[in-house]
Amino acid sequence: MNRIISLALTALTALTLLGATTARAQPARAPLAPEVKQTLRDTRARFAPQIAPIKRDLRDARQALRDELARPQPSDATLRQLEDRMIADRQRLTQLHAQADAELRARLSPRDYARVLMKRASRMHRHGGRGGSPAQVAPPVP
């Protein structure tokens, strides 16, 4: 009997905490203002030509790495070269995302930028940690 009561109290506490967490998260769920969305789209469009070829190269290097690893005797030199290529691509992407973030921060009010960051965190949570930069929160440019 005590175990049932303890279990019920634990469940009730969890539901209460979940409700409190959900209530606190509501402002971040409010849609972004149209002008903020447009700023996000503009920033994303400005950086897309620089980001796209790096992403393609990263994808190609990843496939080449898979292919090399699938060989009966993978070459250590080739693996190192592909690893270095992927690391360099990731570093360039990180730099570009940081530039896009700096541009957004300069163009948006502190409140709007904070809301963009909250949207990004929410997106990362929903997509298993793959949220990209705040500039990537906006829907794709048509």
User: What pLDDT digit, counting tens, does each position of 76-128 carry?
Assistant: 999 999 999 999 999 999 999 999 999 999 999 999 999 998 888 877 666 55
Verdict on whether the full-model pTM lies above 0.75? no
Rounded distance, CA 57 to CA 53, Å? 6
Reported confidence tier of residue 9, pLDDT bands at 50, 70, 90:
low
Q: Is residue 54 part of a domain?
A: yes
Q: Count CB neighbours of 59 within 10 A.
A: 12
Task: Determine the pLDDT at residue 120.
Answer: 83
Which residues in 82-104 are b (16+ Cβ under 10 Å) and which e?
A: beebbeebeebbeebbebbbebb
Print the domain residue range for 90: 49-126
pLDDT in tens, 41-90: 999 999 999 999 999 999 999 999 999 999 999 999 999 999 999 999 99
Written as six digits, the tokens of 129 are 């940690």
Q: Is residue 14 part of a domain?
A: no
| Number of structural domains found in the chain | 1
